[in-house]
Structure 1
Amino acid sequence: MNNQQLLQIIQKKSYFSKHNKVLIAVSGGFDSMALLHFLYAYQSVLDISIAIAHVNHHQRLASKEEEDYLKEWATTHDIPIYISHFKGVFSEEKARNHRYAFFKQVMLEQGYTALVTAHHADDQAETIFMKLLRGSRLIHLAGMKERQTFADGELIRPFLTLNKKELPHVFHFEDASNLENNFLRNRIRNQYLPTLQKENPKLSHHLVETGKEITLLKEALQSLTSQINIEDCQIFLSQDAAVQYFLLQNYLEQFEALNLSKEQFEEVLHIIKTKANYTHHLKNNYYLLKDYQRFTIKKIDLKTDSQSLKKVLEYGNNVTIGHYRFSFSKQPSGIPLTSLSPITLRHRKQGDSIKLGSHTKKIRRLFIDGKYSFLERQNAIIGEQDGLIIFVMVGGDTYLRNHSNNDIMIATLHIEKTKE
């Protein structure tokens, strides 16, 4: 395929219609150098300005030579270049995480709205085959997307529908490690797919087409179920079991760092079906929060959340917490108090209890009986004075400590909701 044909494909798909500053991920290998030379040659036609992002992984003797070459090329062609060095124990996953964290940082700091990588159809076939080997769920066999949200812009793969042999030939560095079979992807590329292609020469093509069909299936599911409020337990549980299964898979797709195993997914589905008021840790500080009406998944640092609130309210002063202002004075209205001692405003602690009527009740039991959700319990505000809990605010309700008939009220605590 010549450059003009390639240009027509890229223009037809309008990859860069919303982008001006474009960051190109360049390793120095065949694919990325083909991408760099192509976008450099046609940047005026595509109305873009380009820059290079290169990561030196320090895994080969040629790494320094490649970095130096790209620096010189960028200087000669007056193109900005950003370079990062991988440190630590190398693994494919760590290296990938490092690369994309670096790309994101450059985009955000320098104002690039598109990151472009040179992934092609052969890479796509390898990716789908790798996922099959690892037992990935059907929804994940769609493979890589031609474009997806990344940083404050997009990650674009303009070569993804092209085979490697269709890319323009330019100067590049040969990575000898690609011929070694220490990593799974290399074994797939060098051994597994070539062997299987003896049975069916179009295997890679079929893998890519399977990925496309799964992508269409996902899009159809989203279109048909767009009006379903999946977090509403009554609505979710009223669906057929098969619909529940794929609705939940689709819902989990929005949490990129979650990536649950099949077993973890089944556990989440079981909890939604069988538990009432329940909190379940998933991974990476993500929690499944289930109450009587709804479920949701949130990223929560429990230690930080539980210890973050502790404010002392002195007599004659006021403090604001969230959308509430607490005033300690002798106002005619408010919660009557028998002491002028400072009031501590905090979250619940283990063992907390409050006197309600003629009996004392554990705050934990109060929350359970009130059927308050996990987040409502986490955000509940406790007022403590002279070692006693004088009020509990949770889920829009306020519980007050019961006073005896002999208590003399000398002040009030006024709670006012501020504008949101």
Structure 2
Amino acid sequence: MMNNRFLKVAQDGHFFDKHKKVLVAVSGGKDSMNLLHLLFRLQKELEINLGLVHVNHKQRPEADQEEEYLRNWAREQELPFYSTAFTDSFSEQKARKFRYQFFQKVMQEEGYSALVTAHHADDQAETIFMRLLRGSRWMHLSGIQAVQKFADGELIRPLLSFSKTELEDLFHFEDESNDSLIYFRNRVRHAYLPLMQQENPQFSKQLLEFGKEQHLLHQALLDLSAGIDLTNLQVFRQQTEAVQYVLLQLYLEKFPDLQLSKSQFDMVMAILRTKANYRHKLKSGYYLIKDYERFSITKILPQTDTFSESYMIKSEGIVEIGRFLVSLNQPLEGAQQVINLEPDKPILIRKRQAGDTILLHQVNKKLRRLFIDKKISQTRREEPIVVEQDGKIYGILDIAISDLSKSLKNDIIKATLYIKMKE
């Protein structure tokens, strides 16, 4: 009986050992209704308390009726029910992002530690095949994981070892859009996989085996690399190119929202192998930070309490230079200076040098003379920091802005440097 098999899989997998409040995502289709009824029947054995969460995508006339049915069912069973509506222009990607953001919100606000979805073995085979077609990196070819971190808890998929044909024929709603070949997954399900199975009837089964092998290979690499300090550049460069490739892939797994393309990945690898003291903006707010000894990927650029001789700004973002926050093209709230520069040219932040001059009121004035005229205190004169581009000084942090900068103020195409004293 399905109940007993499901209970054994859940207990052997220790899916709910750490969870009391469990949120189950229910669409109203056959898969999620099977999952809902299994969990409802086995609440006592699994020692869990259920809540239902539903997203009404508003794509069909029946959508409101389905939501009302689920709401009433939850009320009859005395289970909490949470729902919301998707009102944006529809796409698979946007709808999925919206769903999981709502699931996370409910979990955090209502104290659920687990979210459960109804993905099964057929979904797994489709996902692996879709990732192959899209050219995903090897580590993503293991498919969907039964348990993974999500929100402040876990996302659990207890039906992954069951095929759709094994599910009970319970009351459910049919979604006609599941047959539309507009959507990529539907083309895989109704066209591509059946074609492959004409060549090999076991094709879907072999996709699942391939995914399992990929998962084992991935875990083996994690185990073997556990003792390697891969952000240590000396250690990293001692490895063969093949090992470097794997180590960087494993490191990037720490940043699930940073999906680098192959060309971006190759660029990062080239920087690690050849360049020193490098900061590069990647995507999704992430930066690659590299010095002579180590590298890291971070959304927060490291603090620099003391400023050395110079620093080259080559990409957008906020950096700390001495006692200043300096941001290229990203406004800083409360910025004390705004310096305009030529676009697409390197910007050098450096200490004052002998003979430096700045153009003020159409006169090139030596910095020493400027400090005297402006009655700059001796403390502020000790380590003035200048902004240079193409060998010309556009500003002195916290002291002056050149005519060169002011002449660019109204240009539509320009680079803008925002400067703020650290608190």
Q: What TM-score, normalized to structure 1?
A: 0.75
Residue by residue over 1:336-364, the C-alpha shift from the partner in whole angstroms, topping out at 9 and shown as x without a partner, is xxxxxxxxx999987766457x67699xx
Aligned residue number for residue 65 of structure 2: 65
Q: Residue 199 of structure 2 aligns to a residue in which SS?
A: coil
Q: Does 1:114 align with 2:114?
A: yes
**Alpha-carbon distance between aligned partners in 2 of 1:90 and 1:293, rounded to the nearest angstrom:** 47
Change (3 A) 1:216 1:390: same
Q: Which runs of 4+ in 1 moved over 3 A?
A: 300-307, 345-356, 358-362, 384-393
SS in 2 for 1:296: strand
- Counterpart AA for 1:238: Q
Q: In the aligned structure 2, how far is the partner of 1:352 from the partner of 1:390?
A: 16
1:180-214 per-residue CA deviation (whole Å, 9 max, x = no partner) reads 10011000001111111111111111111111111
Going from structure 1 to structure 2, the CA distance change for 1:385 and 1:18 (only over 3 Å counts) comes to: farther
Contact 1:196–1:203 at 8 Å: present in 2 too?
A: yes
Q: Per the alignment, do residues 392 and 242 of structure 1 end up closer, same or farther by CA in structure 2, a change over 3 Å counting?
A: farther
Superimposed CA distance per residue, residues 75-97 of structure 1 (whole angstroms, 9 cap, x where no aligned partner): 11101011011121111111111
Compared with structure 1, are the counterparts of its residues 137 and 310 closer, same or farther at alpha carbon in structure 2 (3 Å cutoff)?
Answer: closer
Q: Distance in 2 between matches of 1:156 and 1:115?
A: 6
CA distance in 2, matches of 1:188, 1:135: 15
Gaps of 5+ in 2: 302-315, 326-334, 340-346, 359-375, 386-423
Could you tell me whether the CA contact under 8 Å between 1:310 and 1:347 is conserved in 2?
A: no
The answer to whether the 8 A contact 1:355-1:361 is kept is no
Partner amino acid, structure 2, of 1:256: P
**3-state SS of 1:197 partner:** helix
Q: What is the identity, as a one-letter code, of the residue corresponding to 2:95?
A: A
Mapping of residues 325-336 of structure 1, within 5 Å: none
Amino acid at match of 2:30: F
Report what 2:363 is aligned to: none
Which structure 2 residues correspond to residues 265-284 of structure 1 after superposition, within 5 A? 265-284=265-284
Say whether the 8 Å CA contact 1:353–1:360 is kept in structure 2: no
Equivalent position of 1:56 in the other structure:
56
1:244 aligns with 2:244: yes
C-alpha distance in 2, partners of 1:209/1:279? Answer: 41
The residue type paired with residue 76 of structure 2 is T
Conservation of the 8 A alpha-carbon contact between 2:352 and 2:383: no
**Pairs within 5 Å for 1:17-416:** 17-300=17-300, 354=351, 385=377, 388-391=380-383
Structure 1: distance between partners of 2:149 and 2:126? 23
Corresponding residue pairs, total: 338
Deviations 1:12-52 (A, max 9, x none): 21110110000001111010010001101110111000000
> Within 1, Cα distance between the matches of 2:113 and 2:293?
40
Contact residue 352 and residue 384 of structure 2 kept, 8 A: no
Q: 2:21·2:48 contact (CA, 8 Å) conserved in 1?
A: yes
Displacement of 1:149: 0.7
CA contact (8 A) 1:353 1:361 kept: no
Per-residue CA deviation, residues 334-393 of structure 1 (Å, 9 max, x unaligned), is: xxxxxxxxxxx999987766457x67699xxxxxxxxxxxxxxxxxxxxx8589454489
Letter of the structure 2 residue corresponding to residue 31 of structure 1: D
AA aligned to 1:225 is S
Q: Please provide the CA RMSD for this pair.
A: 2.8
Residues in 2 aligned to 1:346 and 1:389: alpha-carbon distance in whole angstroms? 18
1:169 to partner: Cα distance: 2.6
| Shift in CA distance, 355/241, structure 1 to aligned 2, threshold 3 Å | closer
Please, what TM-score do these two structures have when normalized by structure 2?
0.74
| Unpaired stretches in structure 1, ≥5 consecutive residues | 312-344, 363-383, 394-420
Q: 1:399 maps to what in 2? A: none
Identity of aligned residues (%): 49
Residue 207 of structure 1 aligns with an amino acid whose one-letter code is: L
Q: Distance in 2 between matches of 1:170 and 1:148?
A: 28
**More deviation, 3-12/238-247:** 3-12
C-alpha separation between the residues in 2 aligned to 1:95 and 1:121?
22
Amino acid at match of 2:277: N
- Residue in 1 that maps onto 2:368: none
Q: Which amino acid aligns with 2:121?
A: A
In 2, are the aligned partners of 1:113 and 1:153 still within 8 Å (CA)?
yes
Q: Structure 1 residues 240 and 360, CA, compared in 2 at 3 Å: closer, same or farther?
A: same
Contact 1:354–1:390 at 8 Å: present in 2 too? Answer: no
Shift of 1:168: 2.5
Give 2:113's aligned amino acid. T
Q: Say if 1:23 and 1:53, in contact at 8 Å, map to a contact too.
A: yes
CA distance in 2 between partners of 1:278 and 1:351 (Å): 14
